[in-house]
Structure 1
Amino acid sequence: MEAKWYEEGLKMIEELTSNAEQIQDDLLKGILSRNAGTQYLRRFLHGQTDKQYFKENVPIVSYEDLKPYIDRIANGETSDILLAEPITAFFMSSGTSGGQPKLMPVTAEVAQLWAMFRTLYESPVMKHFGDLNKSGKRMEFMFARPEIETPGGLKATSVTTSIFKENGFIAMLPKLYTSPVETIFCPETQQSLYCQLLFGLIQRGEVAMVGSFFAATVLRAIKFLENHWQEMCSDIKTGQISHRITDIGCRNAASLIMKPNPALADLIEDICNSKSWEGIIRKVWPKARYVGCICTGVMEQYTTELEFYSGGLPLVSALYASSEAFCGINLEPLCKPSDVSYTFVPNMAYFEFLPVKNDGNEYIEMGSKNEVTETVDLVNVKLGHCYELLVTTSRGLYRCKIGDVLMVTGFHNNAPQFQFVKRQNVAISVDQEKTSEADLFKAVTEAKALLDPIGFILTEYTSYADTSSAPGHYVLFWELKEKEGNHCTEPDPKIMVECCVRMEESLHYTYKIYRKKNIIAPLEIRVVKQGSFEALMDYYVSKGASFSQYKRPSCIKSKEALKILDSVVIGKFFSPKPPL
């Protein structure tokens, strides 16, 4: 039975999705029964726990609306101003996709929910790839984030760090993962990454999967390996870890696993010394069955480069979750990242969906501020329609907007399946036009296709609304790399200008009209040196962002971050004419 644990998980998925409506109703009833008397809900419910009364009287809110209550608890007031169950800690969001990190209340049930959610999202993966718990190790790049203590004495940390600290996780780590716990909690991320890669190379024959929480972290690890593989091979050859590693925990962990292995070092040298690193993941870790990381949403931009390195290994996006709630699982792990749909799990939170309409590539909430818009229950969403996700949880979030727009792609039994469309309210704008994250990604995808015939890959990009002069214009920062070789010569300027043209042609109707009327100036692409986006990430991490949960911002708003990229520009290119 132990060998087939995932079959129980698959059975549980069928039961949950078949009874989605009843499970959702029971879950909401339980949340309201426990929390109706709290200071927050008492204002709206007056002791009522009926679902329809809840929907008619409790307002739809954002995190900012709940923040005053959360801050009061963080500052020492009792939890019951917001929820009945005691708050044991806070989760901190990554803070890079939509603004400042958010504090999310944590209760005792969260660990149980996570354990169940993990079983559910891993079961379809194990069905396709076999039980990794029995046949290999995971080389996952994991980075704990420092805890902070609120004025009220509660701990606050990232979701992933809270998982890493669990006794059960620490106990199974040596058997199931290549990274010792000391490397995960190393405060120096560069030293941590070096050691996790080194130990993954030493155990290359046991590695059954390569991954991290986000695609961006996997890519950063591979690029780090490109720059440091010779030093790591020297470590493997001599059995002594590099002097660059000063963290005592990492050095102690190395002393337990490292011994001279010249043959392994020579083998890795031969692989890494090739002219092209295409397929390097599969070459270095030949028993790896897949690359596991979230490749949807803002991470989709990394799939092309990750496919280049992975050598045909499937890219598996197993779950959809946020700091607010665990939400959905991928029942088809082998599908392409662009085709991934997440089946919502009805016992993780009470889900509501606010209809939005696609108006010329702009996703707009139906109804005005003066008009009440009815939300749709989980089982009543319609195929092909788009919605903004709301969650109600036992952790003090009531009808709270997550900020994600999702599209219904199908159903599994009675539970809907969604594709991620965009983050709400994340856009670049220089006038009254609004360009969404999805619009920007589409335009970049069209333009970067021009690089392939000349042997270049777009590895990273971000945008900036330059309004320092009138009219303002869009600036795109691009980091490029040659398919062969580790250095980047500047691509043909004519091609780069054509990329500017292609981007403008691919943007939405409003942008094109404004460009033709000279309300918006020509789009600009600034090519930056290799490693520039690593420096950008280092900056955000230094400001408190999580290394493992970092999301490259779609649009730069920080003056300091802008200075980092502007200081390493090696070429500027402009669109020579308005789009047709």
Structure 2
Amino acid sequence: MVTLSSRLPFRNNIDCNSAFVYNMDDTKLDCKGNDVLQELETLTVNAKEAQEFILTKILERNQATEYLSKFMNGSRNISAFKRLVPVVTYDKVQQYILRIATGEDSSILCGEQIVELLRSSGTSQGEPRLMPSILKDLDRRTYLYSLIMPIMSKYISGLDKGKAMYLLFAKAETLTNSGMPVRSVLTSYYKSPHFLHRKHDLYNNYTSPDEVILCPDSQQSMYCQLLCGLVERQHVLRIGAVFASAFLRSISFLEHHWCDLVNDIRIGQLNPSITSPACRLAMLDFLASPNPELADQVEAICSCGSWKGILGRLWPNVKYIEAVLTGTMAQYIPMLEFYGGGGIPLVCTMYASSESYFGVNLRPLCSPADVSYTILPNMAYFEFIPLEDGLRLTDHEEMVENDRLVGLVDVKVGCYYELVVTTFSGLYRYRVGDVLQVTGFYNQAPQFKFICRRNVILSIDTDKTNEEDLHNSITAAKKILENRNYLLLEYTSYTDTSTVPGHYVLFWEIKSTHDESPTPLDCQLLESCCAAIEESLDYVYRRCRAHEKSIGPLEIRLVEAGAFDALMDLLVSHGSSINQYKTLRCIESGLALKLLNSKVIACFFSPRDPECSL
């Protein structure tokens, strides 16, 4: 291994065959397997020096950009950067990104050529954003991916002996008027040599052919990926998707289409509804001949009645389920445990976004509630806005004074922060909008628990309810459902101001855990849930409800089975990526609200005012 020197040869990226790691000056160094973990040790032991080195390189490469020049006048001084460059939100950099999209030179924002614009999911706050990306960003992402399996192999052996059924989806890309690709960050990765040239990586042996993963039709892709996973069921050691929502959508799809999949296996022919030539060609090897024995096995499992524990029965050798389960994704844990039967570990491995990749979970077998991510100091330059009054110190759009920010190694255990990132590709002191809590340190690198996106999603009067408030209040009410053998599959919300006073509305989709004889849903049960939610919301909300009467009783609108699948289909058809899809926790108007209202089967209101002592 290379020892540290005064030049700090931190290796910040990895080439397409995952066999080499680079220095920041692009000197190639051999680094495989356990060497990657040793590299992680080097980075985290020297996190402070690594961050200074990263910022120095970012300023060297981007000093002449129009954006930085207007603040620093060509200076590369770190102190000047921290003193002069403002902390910004997307609206402050959007104009530069749009100018590049229309054909202006990348140098207005970045010292290197911007090769693509990464479209965010748009489902956290409703509107997709475009993030600039340079060629070497793919190397940084691949470096983070290269850590995942060495970390997992410390806890689970033999992962190189089988296959992974990961449900991965590419989204059709578009081009700007100047011809620059606009795509999701995951589509960018799946189409890159970094992903496609992994053929000899035993840890990334997937059940699905690349042609199926890259199919832009998510329904056809999902069908074929599930079919591949069923054909390979005895070889599958890992299952999952990027987000838990996409994985559960795939299981729901399987519930509705298993008969067709079984028939394909039985006769050795692909369903004619799959019209993609690339998919049909790629599936020939999987359906080379009829397999009635396998078809009988799958049919017996899928037709048994309750689907509790179905994943372990369909894939008997699976060792864990992987997906993002932190933040509001924690909503899906009970349903995953239901399908997994409670015996398959749920694993969160990494923390990333369209802006930058951030870190990894070094204790992947911990409970999802205890997941902390170790920030990798070579991904970008990280700063943090202290939230000294919990999550309510400032609104998201408030100006933040530069001297309030703290560096990566200066955060304090137990405290909450909003993440700020500076990247090689043209984001400078950019507020990502994620709220994190420091849980500890790994060497010098801090470990963070993801709390929520920092946005107020419900407000009628002086109340301000964010995602975390809403999630926590619904979690309290879910216990009432679970005691009656029901699970809350999905939810979203909106503020209905058509009534006087206005009130909070929650759309709920519920599933019984006893398929044969579910307990009838009665009015009192759902009214109790309404009341429990209101009791769990903050003092300001309860004061407005109980004393000022400026907010009306909370309403739950129960929707029919499959309503949120239909919502996902709608948003995917309008540009969202199924891979990055996160259910909108608040909808305002338009097609999404119209769709959900069309699926409502019953409405329930809180029967009493919440407790609120003056």
Note the alpha carbon deviations across 1:107-160, whole angstroms, 9 max, x for none: 12112112211112332112212353x211110111111111111211111111
Change (3 A) 1:10 1:131: farther
The reply to whether residue 547 of structure 1 matches residue 578 of structure 2 is yes
After TM superposition, give the deviation of residue 357 of structure 1 in Å: 2.7
How far has the Cα of 1:47 moved from its partner?
2.3
Match in the other structure for 1:383: 413
1:577 Cα shift? 0.7
Q: In structure 2, how many angstroms separate the alpha carbons of the residues matched to 1:268 and 1:40? A: 58
Q: 1:191 to 1:559 in 2, by over 3 A?
A: same
TM-score (norm 1): 0.96
Tell me by how many angstroms 1:106 deviates. Answer: 1.3
Alignment of 1:34-433 (within 5 A): 34-130=61-157, 132=159, 134-172=160-198, 176-258=205-287, 259-311=289-341, 312-359=343-390, 362-364=392-394, 369=399, 373-433=403-463
Q: CA deviation at 1:367?
A: 12
Residue identity opposite 1:142 in structure 2: L
Conserved? CA contact 2:462–2:540, under 8 Å: no
Residue 31 of structure 1 corresponds to 58
Report the secondary structure of 2:394's partner residue: strand
8 A contact 1:95–1:101 mirrored in 2: yes
Return the TM-score normalized by structure 2: 0.91
Preserved CA contact (<8 Å) 1:343 1:417: yes
3-state DSSP of counterpart to 1:421: strand
Aligned length: 577
CA distance in 2 between counterparts of 1:5 and 1:441 reads: 41
Q: Aligned-pair distance for 1:566?
A: 0.5
Q: Is the contact between residue 396 and residue 433 of structure 2 (CA under 8 Å) also seen in structure 1?
A: no
Aligned-CA RMSD value: 2.0
Is the 1:6–1:126 Cα contact (8 Å) retained in structure 2? no
- Residue in structure 1 matched with residue 555 of structure 2 by the alignment: 524
- The 1:426/1:131 distance shift into structure 2, 3 A limit, reads farther
Verify the 8 A CA contact 1:17 1:412 in the aligned structure 2. yes
Q: Which residue of 2 aligns with 1:573?
A: 604
For residue 490 of structure 1, report the CA deviation from its aligned partner.
5.5
Amino acid at match of 1:286: P
In the TM superposition, what are the counterparts of 1:490-569 in structure 2 within 5 Å? 491-516=521-546, 517-569=548-600
Work out the CA distance in 1 between the residues paired with 2:401 and 2:73: 23
Instruction: Map Cα deviations across residues 13-32 of structure 1 (whole Å, 9 max, x no partner).
Output: 11110000000001101111
Contact between 2:87 and 2:429, CA under 8 Å: does it hold in 1? Answer: yes
| Paired residue secondary structure (2:580) | coil
- Matched position secondary structure for 2:388: strand
Query: How many angstroms does 1:252 deviate by?
Result: 1.6
Check whether the contact 2:435–2:453 (CA below 8 A) recurs between aligned residues.
Answer: yes
1:36-92 Cα shifts (integer Å, max 9, x gaps): 111111111122222221111000011111011111111101111111111111111
The partner residue of 1:460 within 490, 511, 532 is 490
Q: Deviations over 1:545-577 (max 9, x none)?
A: 001111101101232100101111111100011
**Conserved 8 A contact 2:487-2:513:** yes
User: For the residues of structure 1 that align with 2:493 and 2:178, how far apart are their CA atoms?
Assistant: 39
CA distance in 1 between counterparts of 2:401 and 2:105 reads 35
Q: Deviations over 1:411-448 (max 9, x none)?
A: 00000000011101242111221001001001111101
| Compared CA separation, residues 367 and 155, structure 1 to 2 (3 A) | closer
Distance in 2 of aligned mates of 1:367 and 1:198:
46
8 Å CA contact 2:493–2:506 kept in 1: the answer is: yes
Q: Unaligned regions of 5+ residues in structure 1, if any?
A: none
Write out per-residue CA displacement over residues 250-282 of structure 1, whole angstroms, 9 at most, x where no aligned residue. 222222221211111111111112222111111
| CA distance, structure 1, for counterparts of residue 600 and residue 199 of structure 2 | 42
2:239 & 2:393 partners in 1: Cα distance? Answer: 35
Matched, 1:470 2:492: no
Inter-partner Cα distance in structure 2 for 1:424 and 1:274:
44
Aligned residue type for 1:527: L
Question: Shift in Å at residue 373 of structure 1?
Answer: 4.5
- SS of the equivalent of 1:88 reads strand
Q: Following the alignment from structure 2 to structure 1, what is the Cα–Cα distance between the partners of residues 319 and 238?
A: 6
Determine if contact 1:446/1:503 at 8 Å carries over to the other structure: yes
Cα contact 2:456–2:464 (8 A) shared by 1: no
Residue type matched to 2:100 in 1? I
**2-structure distance, mates of 1:131, 1:380:** 39
Rounded to whole Å, the distance in 1 between the matches of 2:395 and 2:158 is 43
1:187-242 CA-partner distances (Å, limit 9, x unpaired)? 32111111110110001011110011100011011111111112211111111122
Deviation at 1:11, TM superposition (A): 1.2
